[in-house]
Structure formats: structure tokens, C-alpha cells
């Protein structure tokens, strides 16, 4: 089975490749040109074999801060954003030169959390990426660190890569890191074992997935890579986690690193976005009957089943749905403002329509705008 999944990755017609800062830059910051050229050579070989590749690249901050006369990665947000502003241009320039040596053109796509949270921007990013691929361009995606806020500090390009893999309907996701794969302990500790296959949560039992240490220029740890793998595999996309130093084998035979097996089927972009790319603006507490209706029968959420609300939100915002014990069971897009809901709770839609008008004979969260997070 493992050979079959690795074969799928090796032969994937469209693959998303993510590479971290520590695999592109020197320990003290700044571009490591030989590393970029080695990475580009392997991606170019895959392209020339007739496959499409989308590159999700970190490294803007780590590239830029030495050019500002700073000796180590800055900690304050304003200086990080200044470094990213300088580094993004330097990084894409180096990629342009390196890919140009192989006759390939690159296109830079900078995104923020808003671009995957707001539906219209999400769809526009998808159209742009598809068009770049149709034109034979290698899209290079990076989080727009010059304007990002919290995202700039969490090394979220791993999650971004998983979402991009779904957006472009990729056949595989390859995460390149500074370690050989997922280990059952610290990679540099004697006795730690490489986990070659992850088929589900049971294979991660007892595995510590904290930060890897790395070269000190990136923020992503193993936890973000495992999370990214879970996002992709839940949508039917196999994932390979491998060392950037083994990119040749990772993109050719896929016989290195850790393979995460698909655990679900490709779902709608809307639901994946809702589950993994949104930050809830509030919470709705449900009674047992409403939980059963939403989780087990996959029904819409009606006012009668809501016992309480938390937070400040407007119609169209994502909200979490909680059971009677406070556990999050689902997330959905709410159809009412927070200030409207208190007067609707516990009442049937027919009753509300008679009293307030037909506009109130609707679901609080429609089942088509709802994703189950726990069963």
C-alpha cells in the first residue's frame, strides 16, 4: 500500500511543493543560492517531464533582514514586515533567474489569511493559479508577510500549502523540510525512528511533534507539517514529508521521508476552506437534539435547537457550534447577526415567520454551509 501511495506522488500530474526558510537561506539569513538552484533544477525536471508544479516558498523575512543590516531574525512585527518587503523581491528575483536557466517563467502569488477566509478573494486566487498553470508558468506562492499580522509569527505556510493543494486540485503535496521526515522522537536523538507511513491518527499516538529547531530562520515546526498533512489527506491528497536535501528523490521516486496516506475524499473547496482557513467570530451552544440533527443527520441548524450565543458576529461570519459540554462539533456560516439571535432562540421557524415575516423562516446555519469537526 505504501508503494502505491508513493507511486501516486511520484506520478502526480499536478503537485504542490512547499519549502521552508531554513532550506533556502543561510543560518544567519540571506539567500543560499546553491540550495535554490538545486531545488529549482529538480522542479524544472518535473516540469519538463510534463507535470505541473506549484511552489509554496517561505523565506522572505530570512532573505531580507541581512540586507537591512540586522544580524538576526527580528522579533517585532514592524521590522519583520520591513524585512519581508525587502526579501520578497530578492527571493522572487533569484527564483526568476534560476528557473530562467531552465527556460521556465515564474509568477509570484502573495496571499494573506483574508484571501482564503473571504470567499470572493479565495475564488479569485484559484482562477489566477489555474491560469498561470495553463500558460506554463510556475506559480510561486507565499504568505504576504508585509501585511500579515498573527500569521507572520506562526510559520503557517505549511497550512497554506495544504490549502493551495486543494485549491489547484493537486494530485499530491510534497513538504520539504530540514529533517528527513517525521520521527517518533527528536531527530537528533539516538534511537529516534523515522516513521515511514502515517495512515491515520493512531500512527501518531505518542509522537512528539513540537518544533524541530532547524537553523533558526524559520518558524514552522513539525506540528504545522503534521497539521498540513491532515488537511490535505482529509481531502484525498497524499502527502510526502522529506528533507530538502533529498528533493531529487522526493520529486522523482518519492521513496524517502514520511508518506501520509489519504484519509478522506476530495471535498468541496468551500467546506475545506470553512474547516481549515477560517477563524470563528462566535459560538452557538446547542441542545442534544440539535447536536444529533447537525452531526448525525447532517441537517441544518434551526433556532429551536440553540441554547446560547457567544461573541460578536454578523450574517455570513463563521461560527463554531458547541454541544452541551462545550465541545466544538461543527463550524458554519451564520445567517443572522449576533444581536438578532437572542429573540429567536428556542422558537420554530414557522412561529418566527408568522410573527416576524417570511425572512425569518430560514436556518441559522444551512447544512450546505456547515462542516462537521467532531463525531
Q: Do the strands 239-243 and 258-260 form a parallel or antiparallel pair, or are they unpaired?
A: antiparallel
Integer CA distances (angstroms), 77 to 61, 291, 325, in order: 11, 41, 38
Is residue 267 located within the same domain as residue 284?
no
Question: 87, 60 in Cβ contact below 8 A?
Answer: yes
Supply the range of the domain harboring residue 31. 2-272
Is residue 284 located within the same domain as residue 210?
no
Q: Of 28-42, 46-60, 118-132, 173-187, which gets the smallest average pLDDT?
A: 118-132
Question: What integer is the mean pLDDT of 252-262?
Answer: 94
d(CA 205, CA 116): 31
Q: Is the pLDDT of residue 370 over 50?
A: yes
Is residue 194 located within the same domain as residue 297?
no
Identify the three-state secondary structure at position 329: strand
CA nearest neighbour of 261 among 185, 347, 201: 201
Mean pLDDT of the chain: 86
Integer CA distances (angstroms), 224 to 27, 40, 186, 298, in order: 21, 24, 16, 30
Summarised one tens digit per residue, pLDDT across range 84-135 is: 899 999 999 999 999 999 999 999 998 876 666 566 677 888 899 999 999 9
Integer CA distances (angstroms), 275 to 143, 159, 331, 340, 372, in order: 19, 12, 7, 25, 8
Q: Copy the grid coordinates of residue 325.
A: 459540554
pLDDT recorded at residue 210 = 53
Question: What integer is the mean pLDDT of 247-252?
Answer: 95
pLDDT recorded at residue 114 = 62
Q: Is the pLDDT of residue 151 over 90?
A: no
Question: What integer is the mean pLDDT of 314-319?
Answer: 92
Is residue 229 located within the same domain as residue 309?
no
Q: Copy the grid coordinates of residue 185.
A: 522522537
Is residue 237 located within the same domain as residue 296?
no
Question: What integer is the mean pLDDT of 73-79?
Answer: 86
Using the 8-state DSSP alphabet, how is residue 241 labeled? Answer: E
Of the pLDDT bands very low, low, confident and very high (cuts 50, 70, 90), residue 71 is confident
Q: What is the pTM of this model?
A: 0.80
Is residue 197 located within the same domain as residue 214?
yes
Is residue 226 located within the same domain as residue 317?
no
Question: 178, 244 in Cβ contact below 8 A?
Answer: yes
Question: What integer is the mean pLDDT of 146-167?
Answer: 69
d(CA 274, CA 268): 10
Q: Tell me the CATH number at 198.
A: 3.40.1160.10
Q: Is the pLDDT of residue 251 over 70?
A: yes
Using the 8-state DSSP alphabet, how is residue 24 labeled? Answer: T
d(CA 273, CA 317): 13
Amino acid at each position: 500500500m505504501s508503494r502505491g501511495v508513493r507511486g501516486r506522488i511520484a506520478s502526480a500530474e499536478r503537485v504542490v511543493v512547499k519549502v521552508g526558510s531554513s532550506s533556502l537561506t543561510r543560518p544567519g539569513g540571506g539567500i543560499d543560492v546553491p540550495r535554490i538552484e538545486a531545488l529549482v533544477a529538480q522542479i524544472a525536471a518535473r516540469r519538463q517531464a510534463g507535470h505541473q508544479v506549484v511552489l509554496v516558498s517561505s523565506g522572505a523575512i530570512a532573505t531580507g533582514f541581512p540586507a537591512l543590516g540586522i544580524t538576526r531574525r527580528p522579533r517585532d512585527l514592524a521590522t519583520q514586515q520591513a524585512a519581508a518587503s525587502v526579501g520578497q523581491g530578492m527571493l522572487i528575483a533569484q527564483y526568476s533567474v534560476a528557473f530562467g536557466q531552465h527556460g521556465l517563467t515564474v509568477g509570484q502569488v502573495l496571499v494573506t489569511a483574508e484571501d482564503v477566509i473571504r470567499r470572493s478573494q479565495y475564488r479569485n486566487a484559484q482562477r489566477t493559479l489555474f491560469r498561470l498553470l495553463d500558460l506554463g508558468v510556475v506559480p510561486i506562492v507565499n504568505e504576504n508577510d508585509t501585511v500579515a499580522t498573527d500569521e507572520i509569527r506562526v510559520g503557517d505556510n505549511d497550512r497554506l500549502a495544504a490549502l493551495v493543494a486543494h485549491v489547484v486540485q493537486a494530485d499530491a503535496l510534497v513538504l520539504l523540510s530540514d529533517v528527513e521526515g517525521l520521527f517518533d522522537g527528536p531527530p537528533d536523538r539516538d534511537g529516534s525512528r523515522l516513521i515511514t507511513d502515517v495512515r491515520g491518527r493512531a500512527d501518531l499516538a505518542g509522537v512528539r511533534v513540537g518544533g524541530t529547531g532547524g537553523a533558526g530562520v524559520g518558524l514552522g515546526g513539525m506540528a504545522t507539517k503534521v497539521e498540513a498533512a491532515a488537511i490535505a489527506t482529509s481531502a484525498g491528497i497524499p502527502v510526502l514529508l522529506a528533507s530538502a536535501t533529498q528533493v531529487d528523490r522526493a520529486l522523482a521516486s518519492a521513496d524517502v521521508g514520511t508518506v501520509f496516506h489519504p484519509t478522506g475524499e476530495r471535498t468541496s473547496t468551500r467546506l475545506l476552506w470553512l474547516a481549515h482557513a477560517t477563524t470563528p467570530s462566535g459560538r452557538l451552544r446547542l441542545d442534544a437534539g440539535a447536536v444529533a440533527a447537525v452531526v448525525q443527520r447532517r441537517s441544518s441548524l434551526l433556532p429551536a435547537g440553540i441554547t446560547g450565543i457567544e461573541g460578536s458576529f454578523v450574517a455570513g461570519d463563521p461560527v463554531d457550534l458547541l454541544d452541551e459540554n462545550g465541545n466544538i462539533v461543527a463550524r458554519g456560516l451564520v445567517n443572522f447577526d449576533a444581536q438578532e439571535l437572542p429573540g429567536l432562540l428556542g422558537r420554530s421557524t414557522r412561529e418566527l415567520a408568522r410573527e416576524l415575516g417570511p425572512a425569518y423562516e430560514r436556518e441559522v446555519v444551512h447544512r450546505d454551509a456547515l462542516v462537521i469537526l467532531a463525531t
